[in-house]
Structure 1
């Protein structure tokens, strides 16, 4: 049996902000990440839960 990942609830975007800049985030459904353009970081979403730790974020290319 294959498991599908838990879906991210887009309503969470209204409450979540970047932990570095405190700016709003953009949802990248394809990569399952929340993107902070100001901090140039992409925070992963695992099992439908955003991981808002800077140490877990992926640096964005310029």
Structure 2
């Protein structure tokens, strides 16, 4: 997984515009406020609300 920290610093949740963070397996970006995970496919974050999956904390 090659998500650059600089990219993570500028990305925001498309739904609430809040902070996102990389999950532990580093295959998705988590918005804790919306309780959504945005998948990373082929090193590209899929930042579409309709593609996001719910998660439990």
> TM-score normalised by the shorter chain: which range applies?
0.7 to 0.9
TM-score (norm 2): 0.85
Q: Unpaired segments of 5 or more residues in structure 2?
A: none
Count of paired positions: 57
**Which 4+ residue blocks in structure 1 deviate beyond 4 angstroms?**
none
Structure of greater Rg? 1
TM-score (norm 1): 0.79
What's the Cα RMSD here? 1.5
Counterpart selection for 1:34 from 17, 21, 29: 29
Secondary structure of the corresponding residue to residue 50 of structure 2? helix
